[in-house]
Amino acid sequence: MANISGRCLCGSVSYSGEGEPVFMGNCHCTDCRKSSASGHAALMAVPEAAINMAGPVSTYELTADSGATVTHNFCPKCGSQMFNTNSNIPGITVLVASTLDDPEIYKPAATVYASRALSWDQADPGAEKFDKMPPMGG
């Protein structure tokens, strides 16, 4: 079991817990690019029950290509993107790995939406590539 903790830029929002990530991957989709204000988002999915969230978050809902409702949760004060939830994968919290206290525990195994990677932010050659979303196992 890994200790998982993190916080936003200003410290108003934090999380901590213990558990095993169920998925770790970089997503290059347009939504992740915009929300992360970067070339891709580093996403670490963990069981919702493993993580305790603290501090107020603002939310933004959008409809993904899959038709799922994705809810972005971010710090209302400093704007750090903290975690997402997806209506197609209930019970899972998708942490934005950039907010981890120890970002090196994030080991991306997959590149999602590799087909949308920008010329200046190419897919990790060591990670398994998916043109779009990988099958989520149900």
The footprint of Zn ion (CB under 5 A) covers 8, 10, 12, 27, 29, 32, 75, 77-78
Judged by beta carbon, residue 20 or residue 56, the one nearer Zn ion is 56
Judged by beta carbon, residue 18 or residue 101, the one nearer Zn ion is 101
How near is the Cβ of 70 to Zn ion at its closest, in Å? Answer: 8
Judged by beta carbon, residue 8 or residue 42, the one nearer Zn ion is 8
How near is the Cβ of 83 to Zn ion at its closest, in Å? Answer: 13
Q: How far apart are CA 100 and CA 20, in angstroms?
A: 14
How near is the Cβ of 77 to Zn ion at its closest, in Å? Answer: 5
Q: Which of 83, 87, 95 is nearest to 59 (CA)?
A: 83
Q: How many CA atoms lie within 13 A of 109 on its CB side?
A: 8
Judged by beta carbon, residue 14 or residue 47, the one nearer Zn ion is 14
The β-bridge relationship of strands 110-112 and 128-129 is parallel
How near is the Cβ of 7 to Zn ion at its closest, in Å? Answer: 8
Burial of 120 (0-12, 13-18, 19+ CB in 10 A): exposed
